[in-house]
Chains A and B, each alone.
Chain A
Amino acid sequence: MRYGAFEAVRGIDLHVERGEVFAFLGPNGAGKTTTVEILEGYRKRSDGVVSVLGQDPGHADRTWRSRIGVVLQESKPERDLTVTECLRLYAGYYPKPRGIRETLELVGLAEKAGAMASKLSGGQRRRLDVALALIGDPELLFLDEPTTGFDPSARRAAWEMVAGLRDLGVTVFLTTHFMDEAERLADRVMVIAAGKIVAEGTPGTLGGRDRTATLISFSQPAGTSFDDLPALVREAAVPEGAGVDRLLLKSVSPLEVLGPLVHWAEGRHLDLPDLEVRRPSLEDVYLALTAPVEDGAADAGATSSSQSGPASGGEQRAEALR
């Protein structure tokens, strides 16, 4: 996808399986919305192959549109209509719509059925957006940053709603920049930065997260010294430590370190009251993945802007439920 000489995304190769919740992660300006809008049929791509539900969204027909649902990042409600009227209006666009009442309950908006759409709170408007996208009973739902601007409790409620969609068998293509959201909801995660895919996997394995070292830290018990510790513990210790008189250990097989450590402490009737065992969070992985690429992007941008004429070779492939 190219705007003039600027290529927003390139070399993207993604597949989404039927029935899964797929999270598309990336910092602002990474190319998330561009990619999603190509998949939704809003934008024309400059190159590459895209297939969504067996059709090219660039040439999709009305029947194809009846099989997808789209929740835009930003859109205001229909003017001067109630929640129920909005849903009736949209239901009439589709060949086989879901029930109004059922849809309202699905998104948790049943008690606002008679309210004017423009009078809803931010979170309720987002629910209405989701309801309007679900009313046609879609096979595939696009959710573009569904919880941006939500308070924590509204976010929890939205998560429960998306989890409910998974139970209905709806395939969800979720864009977000919240790691906890992706971790909570997604079966599979893909990270984009500066228009390129930098990692793909399940939330638990993304960026080799399952193979990276676990961090173990504790304070050296009073009256003991570092040399008293078992050899396996001493070998895992990181020289810089985790703070004042606090040891930091790193190990890809944490039990091999924890076992001897616990045995050693019990043998001396010592406790380790502040023992902490921590996995790298998805956010740690994400920051590690996106930071270097963003630096590289600045260089690439400088190069491409100095070129005259159209650059060649931007390619992307995307398939959702081929």
Chain B
Amino acid sequence: MTTTTSNAPTGSAGGASVGSTVSLTLHQFPYDLRSWFRNRQSRFFTVILPITFLVILAGVFGGSTNGKVNQVDVAGGKIDTSVYYVPGIITLGIIANSLVNLVISVTAQRESGVLKRRRATPVPAAAVIAGRALTSVVTSLVMSAILLVLGWIFYHAHLPASTAPALVITIILGSLAFCCLGYALASVITDEDAAQPVVQAVMLPLYFISGVLIPSSTLPTWLSDIANVFPVKHLVEALLAAYNPNNTTAGFAGTDLLIVAAWAVAALAFALRRFSWLPKGG
């Protein structure tokens, strides 16, 4: 075996060194965002579906009964039912963007060998993961803005002013948290075709008991108690606090955000242990 100059320590000859995780995250992000916008499935599940739900729910449960506008009990008073659904459906949009879409696309990338091919390049796992999460945060913010404007135009829902920073931060934190949960869920799904049904099977019951589709104040206590364990309801509550027109504070729901964050940290720890570049299925 002849030894050649390649024996020299790597990276010294040309002075070129591999990029930092932050710069590679910012490099990865626009490509993930672009492919998100081009993907029909991601557009449907994260834009069309929440808008459809808002129109249906506000149409069915909003409006008025016997000349009296339907209202929902919330902290500090009552708000119109149609207005109540705006933060609930924002939650749906955040979860669709951060969890559902991410689980499907990450599982597909892993099982089809896209991640395996990236593994042979110098890109670190953290940049691939963070670039994808950044895409979810940005699309969640865009989605939330669309829903707020639609609520404002059609249901006379207000646009928050003093609580606007809290709303934006809650959307970002919620999106990041559900990205973590998405990576955890993706790591236990071994089949690309199973991703969609598994995610929906997990999320759909939670939507019903967490105040997304039905106001929490109308649910039996035992269902609310179950929902309290999971992060969906706490994100709904946190968004409602930051959106509620009766709220005179800055709009941060500390306890709810802490519970969402706790779920996120646990999910991230689990996902990092189980993360795989290689296909898990046959």
Contacts and interface: CB of A to CB of B under 8 A. Distances in A.
A85 B113 contact: no
B117 A321 contact: no
Nearest to A79: B35
Interface in B74-124: 105, 108-109, 112-114, 116-124
A78 B117 CA distance: 10
Contact of B6 (A18, A65, A66): A18
Nearest to B278: A42
Contacts of B39: 79-80
For this complex, into which size category does the number of interface residues on chain A fall? 35 or more
A129 B118 CA distance: 11
Contacts of A55: 10
B220 interface: no
A319 B121 contact: no
Given A55-B10, A95-B19, A322-B7, 17 more contacts: A42-B278, A63-B11, A66-B10, A70-B117, A72-B117, A72-B120, A75-B114, A76-B112, A79-B108, A88-B31, A89-B28, A92-B28, A93-B118, A95-B16, A139-B6, A321-B4, A321-B6
Nearest to A129: B117
A42 B116 contact: yes
Contact of A76 (B6, B7, B114, B118): B114
Interface of B: 1-4, 6-7, 10-11, 14, 16-19, 24, 27-28, 31, 34-36, 38-39, 105, 108-109, 112-114, 116-124, 278
A284 interface: no
A155 interface: no
A132 B117 contact: yes
Interface in A188-243: none
Could you say which of A70, A75, A92, A322 has the most chain B C-beta atoms within 10 Å of its C-beta? A92
A64 interface: yes
A321 B2 CA distance: 8
Interface string A279-322: 00000000000000000000000000000000000000001011
B35 A78 contact: yes
A136 B116 contact: no
Nearest to A140: B6
- Report the 10 A-B pairs with minimum CB-CB distance, sorted nearest first: A75-B113, A95-B16, A80-B35, A70-B120, A76-B112, A80-B38, A62-B122, A92-B27, A93-B123, A66-B122
B35 A65 contact: no
B263 to A, nearest CB: 28
Contacts of B35: 78-81
27 contacts: A15-B1, A41-B120, A42-B119, A42-B278, A55-B10, A62-B122, A65-B120, A67-B10, A69-B120, A75-B116, A78-B31, A78-B35, A79-B35, A79-B39, A79-B108, A80-B35, A92-B19, A92-B24, A92-B28, A93-B118, A95-B14, A95-B16, A95-B19, A96-B16, A129-B117, A136-B121, A322-B3
A178 interface: no
Could you say which of B7, B113, B278 has the most chain A C-beta atoms within 10 Å of its C-beta? B113
Contacts of A66: 10-11, 16, 18, 121-122
Nearest to B39: A80
Contact of A94 (B7, B116, B121): B121
A77 B118 CA distance: 11
Contact of A95 (B2, B18, B119, B124): B18
A33 to B, nearest CB: 12
Given A80-B39, A81-B31, A63 B18 contact: yes
A312 to B, nearest CB: 27
B31 A94 contact: no
Contact of A72 (B2, B6, B116): B116
A72 B279 CA distance: 13
Given A62-B124, A93-B123, A139-B6, A79 B24 contact: no
B1 A319 contact: yes
B122 A93 contact: yes
A271 interface: no
Could you say which of B105, B112, B120 has the most chain A C-beta atoms within 10 Å of its C-beta? B120
B109 A79 contact: yes
Contact of A75 (B17, B112, B124): B112
A322 B8 CA distance: 10
A63 B34 contact: no
A271 to B, nearest CB: 53
Contacts of A93: 19, 24, 27, 118, 121-123
B4 A65 contact: no
B120 A40 contact: yes
Contacts of A69: 120
A136 B39 CA distance: 28
Nearest to B108: A79
Contacts of A129: 117
Could you say which of A17, A40, A67, A79 has the most chain B C-beta atoms within 10 Å of its C-beta? A79
